[in-house]
Homo-oligomer: A and B are copies of this chain.
Amino acid sequence: MTVSVSSPAERRRNKIRARILSAAERVFAREGAEGLSIRRLAENIDYSPAAIYKYFNSKDELVDELKETFFELILENVNRIADTSTPFAERARDCVATYVQIAADKPHHYAAAFTGESVTQAPVDGEPGFAQSKKGQAFMVLSGMIAEGVEIGAFRPDVDPALAAKSIWASMHGLAMMIVHIPTFPAFKIEQETMSRDDFIQFHADQMIRGLEVHHG
C-alpha cells in the first residue's frame, strides 16, 4: 500500500470525474435525465463520448451519483434543522417545509430520485442498503423526530414512530411530487385566488402533524 492516500494520477482522475459530474449536473438540473445525453455531455467537456465510459460504467450510474448527492443536500439541511433547539412543533414543520422546498428547487432531481427507482421491479435482494443511502438516512431522521415527539408527550402515546414516519414521509413525498409535476400547485391555473405555495406547505405540514397530536379538545 502506498503511503500517500491519493497519488497524483488518482487526483487528476478525480478532477476529471468531478468535471464530468459538474457538467452533467448543470444540464440535468434544467432538462432532466432525458435531456442529458452522453454525446452532448461529451461535447460540453470536450471529450469523445466513449471517454465518459472510462469514468462511469453507464449513464444510469452517472445520474445515480447526481441523485445521491442531491439527497445528501436534503439530508444535510433536514439534519441541521432537526438538531436545533427550537420548539418541537416548529422544528417538525420546518423539516417538512425545507424537504419539500428543496425538492421544488430541483424538480428533476427529486422526481428522478424516486422515479428511476425501478417501477415495479423487484428489489435486488434486501435493497442495496436503503438504510445506508442518503434517502434512507433522511427517513431515519424523520422517524427519530417522531419518536421524540411521542416521548415529549406532544404526540399520542399509541403512535408507532416507524409507522407514523412512513405515513408522514408519504404525505411529504406526495406534496413534493405534486409541486414537481404541477408547477403551479397548489393552484390549478384556473383559479387565481389561492394560497401561496409556502403557506400551503405549512398548512400541509400542520395537517399531517395534527393527525399525530393528542386530542386536547
CB-based contact B189/A126 at 8 Å: yes
Please report the total number of A residues contacting B with Cβ < 8 Å: 56
Nearest-Cβ distance from residue A209 to partner chain B, whole angstroms: 8
How far apart are A29's CB and chain B's nearest CB, in angstroms? 10
Q: Is A114 an interface residue (CB 8 A)?
A: yes
Nearest-CB distance from A182 to chain B (Å)? 6
- Inter-subunit contact A204/B167 (CB<8 Å): yes
A169 to chain B, nearest CB (A): 8
Residues on the B chain within 8 Å of A136, using CB: 188
Question: Are the CB atoms of A183 and B216 closer together than 8 Å?
Answer: no
Given that A171-B170, A175-B170 are contacting pairs, would A184 and B126 also be in contact in the complex, using a CB cutoff of 8 Å? no
Indicate if A55 sits at the interface (CB-CB under 8 A). Answer: no
State whether the Cβ of A123 lies closer than 8 Å to any Cβ in chain B: yes
A93 within 8 A of B: no
Chain A positions 149 through 174: 1 when the CB is less than 8 Å from some CB of chain B, otherwise 0: 00000000000000110110111111
Please, which residues of chain B bring their CB within 8 A of the CB of A111?
A: 115, 119
Complex Cα distance A203/B176, Å?
Answer: 21
Max chain B CB contacts within 10 Å: which of A108, A166, A184? A166
Tell which of B118, B119, B163, B180 touches A119, judged by Cβ atoms closer than 8 Å: B180
A104 → chain B closest CB, angstroms: 10
Cβ contacts under 8 Å, A167 to chain B: 175, 200, 203-204, 207
Q: Report A's interface with B, CB cutoff 8 A.
A: 32, 107-108, 111, 114-115, 117-123, 126-127, 130-131, 136, 163-164, 166-167, 169-178, 180-186, 188-190, 195, 200, 203-204, 206-208, 210-212, 214-217
